[in-house]
Copies of this chain bind each other. A is one copy, B any other.
Amino acid sequence: MEMEQQFKNVTVDKAANIYFDGKVTSRSVWLPNGSKITLGIMLPGEYEFGTDSLEVMDILSGDLKVLLPGETLWREISGRGTFTVPARSSFKLEVRSVTDYCCSYGSGA
């Protein structure tokens, strides 16, 4: 998935998902196998997100720090990077420059 530049034969929601007064936005995309991803943008700011299912965040470009659940050390991402967040947890982000991401979702189990 990480090397794909385009997603083909997908369904895209017309309306955006809008969070934090538009500082975090995304579009929902359904892949041919029925799984959902979101393609999103985060502007600089501090955010905390909760997860229902497992989330794999593929950072396509940006400059940010992430604090994963159960961790005390912030991970730094400059440019590209990936991190995984367990289901039913939360994570914190400090976004320092415009960040482009692709989020994939696992089962909630």
Contacts and interface: CB of A to CB of B under 8 A. Distances in A.
Q: How many copies does the complex hold?
A: 2
B100 A15 contact: yes
Interface in A5-43: 5-16, 18, 21-23, 25, 27, 29, 39, 41, 43
Contacts of A6: 11-14
Nearest to A8: B11
Main secondary structure of the interface of A (DSSP, over half): strand
Given A25-B41, A43-B43, A15 B98 contact: no
A61 interface: yes
B10 A5 contact: no
A39 B22 contact: no
